[in-house]
Amino acid sequence: MKKTIKLIALTSLFIGLNTFSTALLADKVLVTKTTSEKAHQHEEKHDESAHIAKDQHQHKTEAKDDGHGHGAESSEAKDDGHGHGAESSEAKDDGHGHGAESSETKDDGHGHGTESSETKDDGHGHGTEDAHEEGNDGVKLSPAQLNLAQIKISTLEYQTMTYDIYAPGEIKANDYTSYLVSPRVDSVVLKRHVALGDHVEKNQALVTLFSESVAAAQASYRIANAEYKRVQKIGRKAVGDKRYIAAQTNFEADYGRLLAFGLSSDAIKTLTKKSTQLGQYTLNAQISGAVLSDNFRQGQRLASGDTLIELADEQTLWVEARLAPTMQLALPVGSMAQVVVGDKTYQAKVIQKAHTIDPITRTRIVRLEVKNDDHKLHSGLFADIYFAFETQQQVLAVPEEALMRSSDASLGENKWQVFVENNGEFNGVEIELGRALGKFREISGIAAGTRVVTQGAFYVAAEIAKGGFDAHNH
């Protein structure tokens, strides 16, 4: 019985719990549905509000009050702030109550309408035509501008051009008339007789030396000389041909050896005197000239071939001009040139041309000869050399400053032009460049008689580049 009661109680409890859970679930579903409906209604209200605001905005744009009680249609006309309506799509007010058509004309700020697509105002109420079109064709310059820019105009004519080509150079001693004084055998310096810069005459004593080899040669010469004189005195028939020829040969050999050592004939003849000290000998000048160097000291021992003194005849000197190896110039022997040293100018002539390139300076040497009558030129001076040339045929030429690179990119970067004047208008004309003629340049592609700007071309180019526009040129 008790078990039955418990079972009934549990069954009732289970049924109650199930009913409660079902009620809670239904309530949750109802709440969710209600929330969703409210959100949907909120979105609809938001869309409706946005639509209304948009309609109101559109309405406001159709008509707005300008603050003076006058309505203006924005899509058709707008108020300018003074109670005057202006059509924005057709005309706009300039701020002074005057309407101006924007698509056809624009106001210049002074009440004058100007056509933007056809003309533009220059800031003073005067319309000007588009400058771009004028810039393509050329530009006109007033006399005041020509004078201010110092523009010069010349008429092209065929003419024979004389021009100079510059080259750096150096004064050199004339090696063909110079002489190096040196011992022919190992020697010791006993005494010097000249100094640096002295002008000496031919056969003048320069330096006295001593040498063991010379002493032996002098002693041998004395013996040979005495024997040769003896056989000459006795006679060839008496001594026989063999002895006579032997004595003669020994004498001539010893005499020639002393000459090779640098002794003069007069010095050799003095060896027959008993007072002459063997081993000493003097070197004499073989030419007249100036002492250019004397790098030795008394008592110094020298080897055979060492330079003691350099003598040079400065009546005529060399000028060595150095040219770029790629420079092609017709410089035949005898061509004249001007040599400028300081403020003095000398005339020189081409005597030689090197066929090799200097490995150090990478230049080609052209040697000239110059007279130095006033003895103002000296070896080692730098000089400016100007070679004179003349065109074989008449040519058209303009100064280098008359040439300007073409502003037309389609012509390429290497295109050049000159500015031609015709009835006061200046236009760029493309030309071809020829030879460089000093400060001038040969040109072609343009006819003789053309008036060309030869000075102030840069100013003309600048004016053409900006289309000839001048804000104050009335």
* pLDDT score at 189: 95
Q: Mark whether 415 and 454 lie in a shared domain.
A: yes
**pLDDT bucket at 87, cuts 50 / 70 / 90:** very low
In-domain check, residue 29: no
* Residue range(s) defining the domain that contains residue 262: 184-312
pLDDT in the model for residue 51: 41
Q: Which of 84-88, 245-249, 415-419 has the lowest mean pLDDT?
A: 84-88
Task: Please report whether residue 173 resides in a domain.
Answer: no
Q: Is the pLDDT of residue 369 over 80?
A: yes
Residue 120 maps to a domain: no
So what's the pLDDT on residue 132?
A: 36
193 and 308, same domain (yes or no):
yes
Per cent of the chain over pLDDT 90 is: 44
Which of 258, 290, 312 delimits the end of a domain?
312
Mean pLDDT value across residues 162-182? 91
Tell me what the pLDDT averaged over the chain comes to.
Answer: 76
Q: How far apart are the first and last CA of the chain?
A: 131
Q: Are residues 420 and 321 both part of a single domain?
A: no
Q: Please indicate, yes or no, whether residues 143 and 208 belong to a single structural domain of this protein.
A: no
pTM to 2 decimals? 0.53
- 418 vs 108, which has greater pLDDT? 418
267/378 same-domain check: no
What's the confidence (pLDDT) of residue 330?
79
Report if residue 92 sits inside a domain. no
In a domain, 47, yes or no: no
Q: Residue 450's domain is classified under what CATH number?
A: 2.40.420.20
pLDDT at residue 33, rounded to an integer: 43
Q: Are residues 198 and 231 in the same domain?
A: yes
Which of 144-158, 179-193, 202-216, 457-471 is least confident? 457-471
The reply to whether 415 falls in a domain is yes
- The CATH code of the domain that includes 359 is 2.40.30.170
Of 390, 414, 431, which one is at a domain's C-terminal end? Answer: 390
pLDDT tens, position by position, 217-245: 999 999 999 999 999 999 988 989 999 99
| C-alpha closest to that of 81 among 99, 67, 101 | 67
Judge whether 416 lies within some domain: yes
Q: How many domains does the chain have?
A: 3
Query: Among 2-6, 358-362, 372-376, 421-425, whose mean pLDDT is lowest?
Result: 2-6
Residue 354 is predicted with a pLDDT of 86
Residue 70 has pLDDT above 70, yes or no: no
- Confidence at residue 15, expressed as pLDDT on a 0 to 100 scale: 63
211 and 326 assigned to the same domain: no
Spatial contact of 313 and 289, defined as CB atoms under 8 Å apart? yes
pLDDT digits (tens, 9 = 90+) for 137-165: 678 888 888 899 899 999 999 999 888 88
Q: pLDDT confidence of 310, banded at 50, 70, 90?
A: very high
Most confident segment among 244-248, 407-411, 458-462: 244-248
User: Per-residue pLDDT for 130 more than 60?
Assistant: no
> Do residues 373 and 451 both lie within one domain?
no
What pLDDT score does 375 carry? 86
Which one is predicted more confidently, 4 or 385?
A: 385
Characterize 143-170 residue by residue with b for buried, 16 or more Cβ atoms within 10 angstroms of its Cβ, and e for exposed: eebbeebebeeeebeeeebebebebebb
The answer to whether 416 and 430 are in contact (CB under 8 A) is yes
Say what percent of the chain tops pLDDT 70.
Answer: 68
Same domain (yes/no): 266, 245? yes
Q: Are residues 230 and 190 part of one domain?
A: yes
Q: Report whether pLDDT(355) > 60.
A: yes
Do residues 295 and 226 both lie within one domain?
A: yes
- Domain stops at, among 358, 390, 422: 390
pLDDT digit string (tens) for 316-333?
999 999 999 888 777 888
Give me the CATH number covering residue 200: 2.40.50.100
Instruction: Report if residue 89 sits inside a domain.
Output: no
What confidence tier does 433 reach under pLDDT thresholds 50, 70, 90? Answer: very high
The mean pLDDT of 109-138, rounded to a whole number, is 43
Query: 296 or 134, which is more confident?
Result: 296
Q: What is the dihedral sign for C-alpha 404, 409, 410, 413?
A: positive
Residue 175: pLDDT over 70: yes
Question: SS3 for the chain, per residue?
Answer: CHHHHHHHHHHHHHHHHHHHHHHHHHHHHHHHHHHHHHHHHHHHHHHHHHHHHHHHHHHHHHCEECCCCCEECCCCCEECCCCCEECCCCCEECCCCCEECCCCCEECCCCCEECCCCEEECCCCCEEECHHHHHHHCEECCHHHHHHCCCEEEECCCECCEEEEEEEEEEECCHHHEEEECCCCCEEEEEECCCCCCEECCCCEEEEEECHHHHHHHHHHHHHHHHHHHHHHHCHHHHCHHHHHHHHHHHHHHHHHHHHCCCCHHHHHHHHCCCCCCCEEEEECCCCEEEEECCCCCCCEECCCCCCEEEECCCEEEEEEEECCCCCCCCCCCCEEEEEECCEEEEEEEEEEEEEECCCCCCEEEEEEEECCCCCCCCCCEEEEEEEEECCCCECEEEHHHCEECCCHHHCCCCEEEEEEECCEEEEEEEEEEEEECCEEEEECCCCCCEEEEECHHHHHHHHHCCCCCCCCC
- The 10s digit of each residue's pLDDT in 263-284 is 888 888 888 877 778 899 999 9
pLDDT of residue 12: 60
248 and 148 co-located in one domain: no
